[in-house]
């Protein structure tokens, strides 16, 4: 069934629910579990290097915390996970990682933005469902 599972995790409540489900799937299938966080591109036009460094440090702290929490929960459930941090556009980075890693399943959390928001700006989850190279599970 699913031997290589990828969870895209942004630290949201939806991603945390998806993490719990992905851990249970890894247990049930005996598959490996990988967690990927994606840092959006850093500002291209920062006024100073200090400003750029500050943004990078805040992002590193945030995603480091997200990945440590993911590792801790998985360990408590008896599952080992591999954590990864990528930089770039969320959809592009996740699709590229899934292709290169040969994943069987991509697990995503649903955020529940308004219909107006999704029509105007699109949805990361929708884009990933359309472009993922593997089966996709969206957890509500």
Q: What CATH number should be reported for the domain holding residue 109?
A: 3.40.50.620
Alpha-carbon distance of 108 to 89, in angstroms, equals 16
The predicted model scores a pTM of: 0.86
pLDDT single digits (tens) 117-136: 455 445 888 889 999 999 99
The predicted pLDDT at position 120 comes to 42
Which residue range(s) make up the domain with 67? 4-139
Number of domains in the chain: 1
End-to-end Cα spacing for the chain: 22
Average pLDDT, the chain: 87
The predicted pLDDT at position 1 comes to 79
Alpha-carbon distance of 26 to 28, in angstroms, equals 6
The predicted pLDDT at position 85 comes to 94
> Angle between the 90-101 and 124-131 helix axes, to the nearest 10 degrees?
30
């Amino acid at each position: 069934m699913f031997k290589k599972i990828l969870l895209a995790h942004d630290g949201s409540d939806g991603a945390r629910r998806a993490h719990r489900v992905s851990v249970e799937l890894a247990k049930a299938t005996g598959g490996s579990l990988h967690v990927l966080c994606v840092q959006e591109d850093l500002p291209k036009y920062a006024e100073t290097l200090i400003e750029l460094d500050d943004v990078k440090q805040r992002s590193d702290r945030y995603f480091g915390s997200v990945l440590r929490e993911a590792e801790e929960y998985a360990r408590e459930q008896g599952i080992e996970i591999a954590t990864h941090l990528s930089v770039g556009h969320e959809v592009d980075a996740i699709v590229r990682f899934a292709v290169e890693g040969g994943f069987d399943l991509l697990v995503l959390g649903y955020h529940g933005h308004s219909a107006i928001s999704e029509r105007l700006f699109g949805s990361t989850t929708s884009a990933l469902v359309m472009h993922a190279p593997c089966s996709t599970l969206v957890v509500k």
